Amino acid sequence: MNIGVLNESSKIENRVGLNPGGVSFLRERGFKVYVQAGAGLRAGYSNEEFASQGAEIVFTPEETFGRSDLVLNISPLSDEECSLVREGQILMGFHHLAVAKKANLEKLLKKKVSILGYEIFQEKNGALPFIESLGEIAGQMCLSISGHYLQTIHGGRGLLLGGVVSVPPATAVVIGSGVLARSAVKALIGAGAHTIALGTEMENLRGLEEMTSGRVITLVGNKFNLSRIVKIADILIGAILEPGAKAPQVISKDMVKTMRKGSLIIDLAIDQGGCIETSRLTTLEQPTFLDEGVIHYCVPNITSAVSRTSTKVLSNLAAPFIDEIGGADLEKAFKGNETISSGLYVYKGRIVKKIIAERFGLPYTDISSISKR
């Protein structure tokens, strides 16, 4: 099987689908790997480093798609990239189809492609390997982002996250109790922030309390509690994750209006549409905007800011799955591996994730009906 690695720098994406170590692993397993020139530069990997591990350097996206059976992407495919996809190709990466353009999805379905989304890969125990690993990075990044934008010179409230003797710490409110929330809470508690988490799953809330030895305050995430707590938040982190689905908006514009001027919102759910009504997509080049006097940080590819670490994590996770898919074929792979099966949005032009079919009003095929053949 031939693997293609795109250069996605035009989408302000600094990560790359494989690092040289991942290329080496797949070459040893008998794969050919085509890396588009410059794909790894923003993550600190030169074309020469990829070539030294057996990759062939190609120079255009057309050539990358043209030579590959399976194409790796990080950010969702652009309109132009969707046009370059070949008939029957396998697309593997972050696709976030819940917020994709219907026209692009229909274009891909006509080409009978198979689409695997890192964001919906799920193991038997419920763990989300890609999301949890990147969530750990994003949680730690919330500290540096908060510390930066709470400073007076950046329009913030002029607060130190952890406080000092005789002065209390900043108050951080985390909306959610799952994968993303866990990482954010762990990092904030570690930095000394007064941390409150609101969620709807009692077992998850209990897990947060146990993880922090009771240092986090937990509340049920109903409208009443949310509307009260946002008023005291110096930092509000939207960390709601529903794999494969559009994020529910749980913080209204009216709630944002009650927040103190110079406070900070970080919407970690923005990849899936955002969980805060005032959120809108930003970029690493222009990461923030002001709405109702509140700073909003809504970068979808947040871990792209630490591109080398993120690329290593993604490559380490993806390479074994690629090996399994290419070692047999995709159908045998998903029949034999429930984690791969869980990551399928589309199989040979058929939508196999019900929530996506319903979202776009398109036909749905139960994957179990395929695996019985």
Can you spell out the DSSP letters for 345-363? Answer: EEETTEE--HHHHHHHT--
User: Is-catalytic flag, 296?
Assistant: no
Crossing angle of helices 202-211 and 179-190, rounded to 10°: 30
Residues 96, 194, 267, 296: which is the catalytic one?
96
Question: Using an 8 Å Cβ cutoff, are 76 and 94 in contact?
Answer: yes
User: Is-catalytic flag, 96?
Assistant: yes
Distance between CA atoms of residues 86 and 113, nearest Å: 8
C-alpha distances out from residue 164 to 158, 192, 277, Å: 13, 10, 34
Other C-beta atoms closer than 10 Å to the C-beta of 104 total 18
Give start and end residues of each alpha helix (H) in the chain.
20-28, 47-52, 61-67, 79-84, 102-110, 129-149, 179-190, 202-211, 223-229, 253-257, 307-327, 330-336, 338-342, 354-360, 367-371
Residues 95, 194, 267, 271: which is the catalytic one?
271
C-alpha distances out from residue 43 to 8, 24, 32, 312, Å: 11, 17, 22, 9
Positions annotated as catalytic residues are 96, 271
